[in-house]
Amino acid sequence: MQSTKNLWVPKKYFFTILFISWVVFITSLSLFSFEDDSLPSINIPHLDKLVHFSFYFVFTVLGCLSFREIDRKNTPPKKVILKIIFYAVVYGIIIEMLQGVATVDREPDLLDVLANSLGALFGSFAVKFIFSGKTPL
């Protein structure tokens, strides 16, 4: 009979699976076109910037947790946070550039890059704040 330890391997990589799923989700929403008629529209100014901010906030939090899960806490938290911020900003820039060349109805937007970067920065603050006490990252 197998031990229950081997049956729960995905649980061991919970944050990594969430992080990869989140990146696929962001990529899908960023690069696929949606017909304007098929989606409900809410006319709130700059709502898309809040969405960008939120996406990259979560990207950074899950990225930090995933990295620490894979790395087995060998890398200092400060280095992990800086790496994930860098990855988030570069990923956001690449997605914006791809919107300009790989999609028909989307355009790259510098303000989206700024919202992405601010989301990543604030996500890192949240990670640092949440895990600054006795709870290790």
What ranges do the domains of the chain cover? 47-131
Distance CA 62, CA 68 (A): 10
Entry pTM: 0.82
What's the farthest any 2 CA atoms get from each other in the chain?
59
Place of tokens 């950074």: 60
* pLDDT tens track for 68-103: 888 877 888 889 999 999 999 999 999 999 998 988
Q: What is the pLDDT of residue 7?
A: 53
Contact 119, 62 (CB under 8 A): no
Kindly give the interhelix angle for 77-102 and 110-130, rounded to the nearest 10 degrees.
160
More confident residue, 101 or 34: 101
Burial of 95 (C-beta count, 10 Å sphere; 0-12/13-18/19+): buried
Distance CA 72, CA 56 (A): 24
